[in-house]
Copies of this chain bind each other. A is one copy, B any other.
């Protein structure tokens, strides 16, 4: 029993962390093992969640035997799946091969980490589903990996970092979307990434706090790009999950993009419906971290303003520390059937589970 009583949840954002680069050696060709041993490479140079930042991990999630939080299946089982009475949990591995400049190495690491996910996570825990890691800086190599590993029934998603080399509406990413559709996989866009671009459209912010608070603005620009550059017109069955980006900015973005579209739609004739309709049809958002208003009435207003009961999906963001009390996971009282939809049924339909 969790705070949701008899409700089973589908937790749409669990993080499985690689304990160390060496854990991938059994899955890497000798060439790349030799390369890793002789070079300066120790893993992608990305710090979406710095190891000592309090928001990165709940204290109890550090494995007693060593390794980073999120690297221990046993702890994830008890602290996330069991604690929340989860029917399914979706792993979003944040190993950022997209930031590795050697794209051949990046692609080899992606293949390796996906095989590692099969052996160490999917094979050992039937409630888990996982997300394919791909070298998204090279969409052709990424599509090859989706074709290679996407056959495994445990994978339900391709995960991409929200910070990218080009806006995700750009046609350079079409091979990824085509492959995702081909294998009936969701494309999950996740907090973080380090493509080399500054973290804001005005250049580099100085502090991690700015980067973290500003990530919601990066999500907004990606949503605009995907809808307006016509991704969903080119791939009418594509489904996109927005993961760890918050959702209270969603109504404002829907209003703004609809309004601007009305004035300028003749420039983008392929966008045939209101942008917000594409969003409601093709996009879903995980609820944690909630950009939480202190007043639950305000949170409820935002949920109503979204004007869809299908878009929000429960998530704990385990092992990140984004709320203190279990009751803060969804800090507003919701009536049925909305509660059940958010806790499980929206994700079940979107990820086509069970």
**Interface of A with B (CB < 8 Å)?**
53-55, 163-170, 195, 197-210, 212-214, 216-218, 220-222, 224-225, 228-229, 246, 248-249, 251-253, 255-257, 259-261, 263-265, 267-268, 289, 291-294, 298, 301-302, 305, 321
Q: B53, B200, B252: which contacts A264 (Cβ < 8 A)?
A: B53
Distance between A59 CB and nearest chain B CB, rounded to angstroms:
13
A259, B209: Cβ atoms under 8 Å? no
Q: How many copies does the complex hold?
A: 2
The 4 closest A-B CB pairs, nearest first, are: A256-B291, A217-B217, A248-B252, A200-B221
Given that A210-B228, A248-B251, A267-B209 are contacting pairs, would A259 and B202 also be in contact in the complex, using a CB cutoff of 8 Å? no
List B contacts of A217 (CB < 8 A): 201, 217-218, 220-221
CB distance from A57 to the nearest CB of B (A): 12
Q: Do A209 and B167 touch across chains, with their CB atoms under 8 A apart? A: no
CB contacts (< 8 Å) of A268 on chain B: these are 207, 209
Q: Assuming the A-B contacts A248-B256, A255-B248, are A261 and B200 also in contact, with contact meaning beta carbons closer than 8 angstroms in the complex? A: no
Q: A249-B249, A256-B213, A291-B255 are in contact. Are A202 and B305 (CB under 8 A)?
A: no
Is the pair B220, A202 in contact by a Cβ cutoff of 8 Å? no
Q: Are A293 and B251 in touch, CB under 8 angstroms?
A: yes
CA distance A199 to B202 in the complex (A): 8
Contact B197 A198 (CB under 8 A): yes
Partner of A293, one of B207, B265, B305: B305
What CA separation (Å) do A202 and B201 show in the bound complex? 8
Residues of B within 8 A of A206 (CB): 167, 169-170, 229
* CB-defined contacts of A252 to chain B, threshold 8 Å: 216, 246, 248-249, 252, 291, 302
Q: Which B residue sits closest to A218, measured CB to CB?
A: B201
* Cβ A166 vs Cβ B203 within 8 A: yes
- Tell me the minimal C-beta distance from A152 to chain B in angstroms: 30
Min distance, Cβ A292 to any Cβ of chain B, angstroms? 6
Q: How many Å lie between the Cα of A264 and that of B195 in the bound state? A: 24
Beyond A205-B221, A210-B225, A251-B293, 18 extra complex contacts between A and B, CB < 8 Å: A55-B263, A166-B204, A167-B205, A169-B205, A169-B210, A170-B206, A195-B202, A197-B203, A201-B201, A201-B221, A202-B222, A209-B261, A212-B264, A213-B224, A214-B220, A216-B256, A249-B256, A256-B291
A302: which B residues are within 8 A, CB to CB?
A: 252
B263 touches A54 (CB 8 A): yes
Smallest CB separation, A36 vs chain B (Å): 29
